[in-house]
Structure 1
Amino acid sequence: MLSMIGLIGGLALLIILTMRGMNLLIVGPISALFVALLSGMPLFPQLVSEGEANFVGNYMSGFSGFVTSWYLMFLLGAIFGKVMEDSGAADSVSKFVVEKLGMKYAVLAIVAACAVLTYGGVSLFVVAFSVYPMAISLFKEANLPRRFIPAALAFGSVTFTMTSAGSPEIQNWIPIEYLDTTPYAGWEVSLIVAIFMAIFGYWWLKRMIMKAVSNGETFIRQESDPVVGNQPLPNPFMGMIPLIVVLIISFIFHNSLKQSALIIALLCGVVATYLLNRRYFRHFWNAVSEGTLGALIAIGNTAAVVGFGGVAKAVPAFEAAVHYMTSIPGSPLIGGALAVSVIAGMTGSASGGQVIALPVLAPHYLDMGVNPEALHRVAAISSGALDSLPHNGYVVTTIRAICGESHQAAYNPMAAVSVIVPLIGVALAILLFSFGLGI
């Protein structure tokens, strides 16, 4: 009982302190310590036998493991975004979009860019780094409140593309191992749900932005914003080519190199930006340095939350919660969706929700005769809902490290399109599968 209070209380503490703007590098370990103390977890590795759970060991394993796996991708992604910004390539593309499509399509351009890169296999974190320079330019040109940029980036990245059939993102591939399916499992239902989420989510996002504009909100410059002035800009097509290079190369090498394909793709993107637009750079090496610093801040914030998940997963209450969630009576698809989504929310990770829930759910539900393709698609879509609570690594990185916003200003619209819209999508998928579509 005390362990459960610690788990729920630690998660609540993490969310509350994050929403209040406290530093994640402090909030993460404090919240994890609260969980450990109320669960009776030993604090130091010297107090337990080798391999046994302890606060410092589990927290640092989660923290360092994330850094080890993702540092180079964060680094190159941040540098790519900065060189696109410094060369004027991002401004050139944004001006082209506004001139050709009109300012009312500025938000659509950002969402579409994120969607294309995400479905092309570029990591969600890297997509935010890469598209942000164009997003800030478009919002400035259209004079839209900048606090909605994180919502636009998230909507194009972690909703209708991340968990759809055929997506190369890991959230669509994890169920294959447990259900013996393919990345295109339940594609008919997936297509309908994706179209619904795209249309409804975009309508809602635009409605929120227009309401804010009607209330007098405008774009407000920050000191960290690039100062373009009368700087000559490259041809917009030269500005778009580096983005296309990243997309194509990541797609080509994704199956063979998995996430490591991004190292090659992003490096080629940086080189392409320099070669095509080198005479437009203001301070190339300054841009590289700023990108490096941004990457360190971003990956540190994210790893701090992942470390919390490393402690939370090791306490008795977490195992009890998983058992309860995976034993919910009624429709297996509803139980599966709830289990994956809630666990993803607890760990702050969509992939974590699947990896923990599916080894328990899959054998049990398959023995019951549940269609594996339906379970695959429901698990994938549901993993992208409650995972986007305030403490999620992508949420923290996008709002704070990339966009320089606060949770108070930016999280509510982000939650609308990355939590509520996917939850409705999950319900729609379960309903369609219940009527036999795609089975």
Structure 2
Amino acid sequence: MLSLLGLLTGLLLLIVLTMRGVNLFILAPLCALLVAVTNGIPFWQVAGQSDFVHGYMNGFASFVSSWFLMFLLGSLFGKLMEHTGAADAVALAIINKLGKGHAVAAVVLACAVLTYGGVSVFVVAFSAYPMAVSLFKDANLPRRFIPAALGLGSVTFTMTSAGSPEIQNWIPIQYLKTSPYAGWEVSVVVAIFMAALGYGLLKKMINKAVDQGEHFIGRDSDPVVGERALPHPLLGIIPLIVVLLLSNLLHHSLQQAALIVALAAGVLCLYLLNRRFVQNLDKALNDGVTGALLAIGNTAAVVGFGSVAKLTPAFDQIVHAVVALPGPELLGAAVAVSVIAGVTGSASGGQVIALPEIAPTYLERGVDAEQLHRVVAISSGALDSLPHNGYVVTTIRAICGESHHNAYWPVAVVTVLVPLFGTLLAIVLFQWI
């Protein structure tokens, strides 16, 4: 009982204090230490026992060593898209095509194109935010819904879909020996469902707020769109296509390294096509490196928390209870991954911790690896978006300048509730195949 209480208390503190703005690099290990103390885990190495320091750092370091190059190249790709103006050009092309009367749809679609093209979800939010402010201002829509619009296009139906070059779609490959387009038939249906449901719910929330008198309120710090020359939209779209094609074409021969090659080729292609629009290459590269370090560091910090939680008796009890759930095997896998992603506040971190524990069990039971891959990917993008999630904190506070109180609940509807329904739909469809 004390083990479970300590684990839940550590998680609750992690969520609450993250919402209050405490730095994750400090907060995550302190909360993990609380979990360790309440579970009798020694601070330093003791013969025959796991300890806090090695447990936390092994989780932190293993995540960094496995995914640093993907984070780095994804961040460089995104920053070059931003600094060359290619991201703005693609977003503006979508906006001009849809018209300013469809402000919310334009923001969501712009984010979806960039995310599915391989731009890191963190960078997508930075790139699309100026466009979102301009559109919401012209449509006089409450700006507190901008984080939800960015999240719907970035971390739901695109991030975990078949073929996506985002790491949430690639982590299961090393454990299940599948491909990035595993379960693509069901994935297409689920992606369309999630996009439609999320958009419908977001529009309903916005319309209700407008009916109650809410409107756009400008700020002196609002970015201004259109003050610089932009490349042709095709010069931004071509590198996105290069990343998509290479990551899928090279998968069979290079496996996980295919994503590294694809992102590197995308960075090179993007620079060669748009180099005359680069105003400060050193700044673009430095921003990309800094962004990658912060993104992977925040994620790894919470993965370290999850690694300590994994050492507790309560964690084993939770995993065994979930694996023994009645009903479809895929449902148990989805619950396990989603819960652990919620504990770590990270879809990728949840997968890295959960898959070594549950993948062998479900494969031995005869669960199809491709079906398991797709359900794991989709379900990891649900409870991961609790308030302490790195993307949620960064997007709401750092990018959009909002508070959790004003902006989180719309974000939760489209990034937690919608993926949960998407996961259930995927399980149902796989049962029929």
In which range does the TM-score fall when normalised by the shorter chain?
A: 0.7 to 0.9
Determine the structure 2 residue equivalent to 1:134: 128
**Are 1:323 and 2:307 an aligned pair?**
no
Identify the residue that residue 105 of structure 1 maps to in structure 2: 102
Q: Which amino acid in 2 is paired with 1:48?
A: V
Aligned residue in 1 for 2:43: 43
Q: Does 2:146 align with 1:152?
A: no
Deviations 1:343-377 (A, max 9, x none): 22223343554555556655655666666665554
Note the 1:244-323 alignment, pairs <5 A.
244-255=241-252, 256=254, 257-261=257-261, 263-268=263-268, 271-272=271-272, 274-278=274-278, 281=279, 283-323=280-320
The 1:301–1:380 alpha-carbon spacing in structure 2 relative to 1, beyond 3 Å, is closer
**Shift, 1:430, TM fit:** 3.4
Tell me by how many angstroms 1:199 deviates: 0.8
**Match of 2:333?**
336
- For residues 369-427 of structure 1, the C-alpha deviation after alignment (integer angstroms, 9 at most, x for no partner) is 66666555444432322222222344344445555554334332222112101111222
Q: Partner letter of residue 332 of structure 1?
A: E
Structure 1 unaligned blocks of 5 or more: none
Instruction: Measure the CA separation in 1 of the matches of 2:394 and 2:112.
Output: 18
CA positional deviation for 1:239? 4.6
Q: How many residues are aligned here?
A: 426
The Cα of 1:155 is off from its aligned counterpart by 2.2
How far, CA to CA, are the matches of 1:247 and 1:372 in structure 2?
22
State percent identity of aligned pairs: 59
Query: Please, what is the CA RMSD of the aligned residues?
Result: 3.6
Secondary structure at the counterpart of residue 43 of structure 2:
coil
Give the equivalent residue in structure 2 for 1:216. Answer: 214
Please say if residues 385 and 415 of structure 2, whose CA atoms lie closer than 8 Å, have aligned partners that are also in contact. Answer: yes
Which of 190, 203, 206 is the equivalent residue of 2:203? 206
Structure 2: give runs of 5+ residues left out of the alignment. Answer: none
Q: Assess if the C-alpha contact under 8 Å between 1:11 and 1:346 holds in 2.
A: yes
In the other structure, the counterpart of 1:2 is: 2
User: 8 Å contact 1:139–1:219 — kept in the other structure?
Assistant: no
Aligned twin of 2:31: 31
Q: CA deviation at 1:327?
A: 1.6
**1:117 Cα deviation (Å)?**
4.7
Q: Does 2:378 correspond to 1:384?
A: no
1:83 CA displacement = 4.2
Residue identity matched to 1:21: G
Aligned twin of 1:12: 12
| CA deviation after TM superposition for structure 1 residue 15, in Å | 0.8
Number of the residue aligned with 2:193: 196
1:216 partner letter: E
**Aligned partner of residue 419 in structure 1, secondary structure:** helix
Relative to 1, partners in 2 of residues 1:41 and 1:366: Cα closer, same or farther, differing over 3 Å? closer
Q: Following TM superposition, by how much is the alpha carbon of 1:164 offset from its aligned partner in structure 2, in angstroms?
A: 3.6
What CA distance in whole angstroms lies between the structure 2 residues aligned with 1:178 and 1:90? 34
Task: Name the aligned partner's letter for residue 323 of structure 1.
Answer: H
**Contact map agreement 1:89 1:236 (CA 8 A) in 2:** yes
Query: How many angstroms does 1:87 deviate by?
Result: 4.0
Asked whether the 8 Å contact 1:160–1:195 carries over to 2, the reply is yes
Report 1:389-428 matches (<5 A): 389-400=386-397, 405-428=402-425
Superposition deviation, residue 292 in structure 1? 4.0
Code of the aligned partner of 1:4: L
Mapping of 1:110-125 within 5 angstroms? Answer: 110-120=107-117, 122=118
- Pairing of 1:20-99 with structure 2 (within 5 A): 20-44=20-44, 47-49=45-47, 52-99=49-96
Query: Are residues 339 and 307 of structure 1, via their aligned partners in 2, closer, same or farther at CA, if it must alter by over 3 Å?
Result: closer
Residue 241 of structure 1 and its aligned partner are, at CA, apart by 4.4
